[in-house]
A and B are shown apart, each in its own frame.
Chain A
Amino acid sequence: MSLSAKDKLAIKTFFEKVAPKAEEIGNETLSRTLFVYPQTKTYFSHWADLSPGSPQVKKHGTTVVKGVLSAVEMMDDLKGGLLTLSELHAFMLRIDPANFKIINQNLLVSLALMFPDDFTPEVHVSVDKFLAQVSLALAEKYR
């Protein structure tokens, strides 16, 4: 399920609109991940406040979405481009890769509610494929 030229164009075009709202999308995505899937909170036991919209959630949500946005620029070689981030997730953070699907789903929900007119079914399928590829690249160094 690799990215076609049509997918890549749809992704680039759509994320250009998303980029200015990175903070908001990040907050929505991470807030929802932690709230709707409480098991994900286990990775953040060192945070004071895990509630939706808290300062730490906002800050970290932004970090995550900025990571996704940087992956857009590296679409032609995600494994190479995401090597360092993969090492981080594999050796330091050791996040179970099953959680990538969870955060991806919440990112899609956040995109749908913030960009209802732009997040058409065609954009949706391209973004879903892209996020799956990003997750694979992120899991590359796990074993």
Chain B
Amino acid sequence: MVVWTEFERATIQDIFSKMNYEVVGPQALARCLIVYPWTQRYFGNFGNLYNAAAIMGNPMVAAHGKVVLRGLDRAVKNMDNIKATYAELSVLHSEKLHVDPDNFRLLADCLTVVVAGQMGASFTPEVQAAFQKFIAVVISALGKQYH
């Protein structure tokens, strides 16, 4: 059972309520595909991923970035029940998408970098710790149904 402090709850709600999912999602996914190019293996049908400019301008990447962030929103809205909330998504990522769970950490690191860039100095160490704890719980839930 994950125990959240008041500060952690408030911080997560605050970050995500102020976040523009339509911008952050595409940026985080594009960054992941650029910084960790082997993650492109899951997006063979996305067309031109040839270089950073192509990835950042790719409409399928942008669309999928939004899908990912909206998925993350489900955890934000169900912080006390993330494992159950993500049971189906975990099966999807394992059985259908065949995503190596190590990639969740890679995308999470890129998301953290994008959020830090957006929030600047207000992304304090305390806020970073809360954010990374939340992300760690999400990653664990997503990996739960792998076998």
User: B116–A112 contact, CB under 8 A?
Assistant: yes
**Cβ contact of B34, chosen from A114, A116, A124, cutoff 8 A:** A124
Inter-chain contact B125/A35, CB cutoff 8 Å:
yes
Cβ–Cβ < 8 Å partners of A128 in chain B: 35
A35: which B residues are within 8 A, CB to CB? Answer: 125-126, 128-129
Where chain A touches its partner, the secondary structure class is helix
- Known: A121-B30, A121-B56, A122-B34. Is A113-B125 also a contact (CB below 8 A)? no
B34 contacts A36, CB within 8 Å? Answer: no
State whether A109 and B35 are in contact (beta carbons under 8 Å apart), knowing that A32-B125, A35-B126, A121-B56 are contacts in the complex.
no
Pairwise interchain contact A112-B113, C-beta atoms closer than 8 A? yes
Instruction: Give Cα distance in the complex from A31 to B126, angstroms.
Output: 10
Q: Is A136 at the interface (CB under 8 A from chain B)?
A: no
Residue of A32, A52, A113, A125 near B35 (CB, 8 A) is: A125
Q: Using an 8 Å CB-CB cutoff, how does the interface string of A110-127 with B read, 1 for contact, 0 for none?
A: 101110100111101100
Say yes or no: is B112 at the interface (Cβ < 8 Å to chain A).
yes
**How far does the alpha carbon of A92 sit from the alpha carbon of B102 in the complex, in Å?**
33
* Contact of B31 with A121 in the complex, beta carbons under 8 Å: yes
A36 in contact with B129 (CB, 8 Å):
yes
Q: Which residues of A contact B (CB under 8 A)?
A: 31-32, 35-36, 52, 105, 108-110, 112-114, 116, 119-122, 124-125, 128
